[in-house]
Amino acid sequence: MMKIWFDMDGTIADLYGVKDWLPMLINSDPTPYAVAAPLIHLATLARMLNKLQREGYEIGVISWLSKNSTADYDEKVKAAKLEWLAKHLPSVRWNEVKIVAYGTSKITECGGGVLFDDEDKNRAEWGEDAYTPDRIFEVLSSLRA
């Protein structure tokens, strides 16, 4: 069974476009995760993902927690990310959502499939089935064939 994984921050959610995002994260404020604007047309993404699931694909999210982390802040970040997904992609029924410690190996955590991620290091470690966010619709369309 083929799995399709999405990073959130910088891939589908514009965390880095939130004004003062870094000082907020340093001060353990989860607001940027909650208010980040979508980076792609999410209604189109939802339609594509729902179709791919009907065709047998599993879809998931693999996203890091904040670099500055405490157990309490991790819970707030997880909640903000889950709320963001529910708000912006309400029709998508994710097979898995993994929100893991900053720097966790995504390939080790997920075991393969297709990955969309803005981080060069994550894509390099994942291998040939890892793509930049600007290729999401192109790659998903090719999977439908």
- Give tens-digit pLDDT for 119-130: 999 999 999 999
Classify domain 3-143 at the CATH topology level: Rossmann fold (3.40.50)
- Kindly report the pTM of this predicted structure: 0.96
What is the tens place of the pLDDT at every residue in 4-51?
Answer: 999 999 999 999 999 999 999 999 999 999 999 999 999 999 999 999
Please work out, in degrees rounded to the nearest 5, the angle formed at the alpha carbon of residue 25 by the alpha carbons of 24 and 30: 85
For 26-143, strand residue ranges (E) read 58-64, 96-100, 114-116, 130-131
Give the pLDDT band of residue 108 (cuts 50, 70, 90): very high
SS3 content of the chain, % helix, strand, coil (to 5): 45, 15, 35
The domain locations on the chain are 3-143
Res. 144 pLDDT band, cuts 50 70 90 = low
